[in-house]
Amino acid sequence: MLSNLVLRSIDETSKRSHPTLTPDGILQTSRLGKRFKKRWAVNGLSLEVRRGDIFGFLGPNGAGKSTTIRMLFSLIRPTTGDVQLFGHSVSTDRKEALKRVGGIVEKPDFYLYLSAVKNLEIVGSLYGGVPRSRVFEVLDLVGLRDRAFDSVKTYSHGMKQRLGIAQALLNDPELVILDEPTSGLDPQGMKDVRQLVLRLAHEQGKTVFLSSHLLSEIEMVANRMAIINQGKLVVQGGVRELLDKGEHFIVVKGRPKTKIRSILRSRSAPVSSYKEEGGEFRASMKFDDVPLLNRMLVRNGVKVEALVPRRSLEDFFLSLTESEPPR
């Protein structure tokens, strides 16, 4: 019943050395791969997470995200490659590699008839016991202190997700790995988890590895990210750096639409392409050319209501993955 995260802290030590991480790197995968029969769920994946990152790990369903996280926790063995945490190989030095790591894989599990306090004390016993003060500390951090002695079966889905994060924080880890922590949550629950992730990084000094298919959530919290598709790395780097590359698009709102359409089609418009969606026009172009487009619209009798620059993570993500559907 207990979350898979508790499996990480019990095992053998290493006899083999590996290349060290870069000075600020604390998680590194090197050509990591996992094959199930003839299918590669993860193939040649090399990632680096640096101290202090909120690192977004993105990919469409079936891209290999959860398989990767299971290998990070040594819940399954890689077919190829290696994982290093804090300079220690997960394959050969599991106990040392994982002792400063906490997290949840997929959904957290609990003894539903027991209270949050009792559930956390049971998890804490696997670390050799944790003080009750620490139990209340993590419950306070995730906003559940006032429900500490209620049975978990009375908790909402969002509260259970936050209790899972409290489980992951019991041993005060330096690296927190969260697999889809906002899955199935309503907007308020998603906001609560997002704010919690930011507090972990900015107030608690944690490094957070955050897997999600909710692209807007990653854009709001992450400073670095990687996108995978069909088990392979597509791109990795700073969120803002990656989003600022290439063309952006402008949402054009105004009347009459026939004139807007005609101008966007014209050869003289500083637009490489456009499409119409929901009564709006999305024009691919450079931001520096927005004033020129605005002048063209006004001179041709268009009542311009808005020209909104956009470059969302979702558009970037889809541009990289939509041509290759997951297997």
CATH code at 41? Answer: 3.40.50.300
The verdict on 208 and 223 lying in the same domain is yes
Contact 47, 228 (CB under 8 A): no
List phi, psi (to 5°) of 5: -60, -30
10-residue averages of pLDDT along the chain (327 residues): 37 34 82 96 97 94 93 96 96 94 90 97 91 96 96 95 95 95 89 93 96 84 94 92 74 93 94 88 88 94 90 68 53
What is the DSSP secondary-structure string of 236-263?
Answer: EEEHHHHHTSS-EEEEEEEE-HHHHHHH
Strands 224-229 and 207-212: what pairing? unpaired
The verdict on 205 and 86 lying in the same domain is yes
**pTM of the entire structure?**
0.78
The verdict on 212 and 84 lying in the same domain is yes
The verdict on 275 and 184 lying in the same domain is no
Closest by CA to 231, choosing from 63, 58, 31, is: 63
Q: Which of 242, 258, 291 is the last residue of a domain?
A: 242
- Order across the sheet with 280-285: list the strands: 273-277, 280-285, 248-255, 303-310
The verdict on 221 and 265 lying in the same domain is no
The verdict on 173 and 268 lying in the same domain is no
The verdict on 288 and 147 lying in the same domain is no
The verdict on 237 and 277 lying in the same domain is no
Radius of gyration of the chain (CA): 23
The verdict on 180 and 229 lying in the same domain is yes
Q: Which of 225, 242, 259 is the last residue of a domain?
A: 242
- Does residue 282 sit within a domain? yes
The verdict on 266 and 168 lying in the same domain is no
Domains held by the chain: number: 2
Query: How big is the CA angle at 216 (ends 63 and 158), to the nearest 5 degrees?
Result: 85
Q: Which of 209, 242, 275 is the last residue of a domain?
A: 242
- Does residue 281 sit within a domain? yes
* Structural domain harbouring 179: 4-242
Task: State residue 22's pLDDT score.
Answer: 60
- Does residue 14 sit within a domain? yes
d(CA 32, CA 275): 39
Task: State residue 313's pLDDT score.
Answer: 65
d(CA 90, CA 71): 8
d(CA 207, CA 196): 13
Task: State residue 15's pLDDT score.
Answer: 33
The verdict on 198 and 236 lying in the same domain is yes
Closest by CA to 64, choosing from 94, 91, 39, 96, is: 39
CATH code: domain of residue 264:
3.30.70.980
- Does residue 238 sit within a domain? yes
The verdict on 36 and 156 lying in the same domain is yes
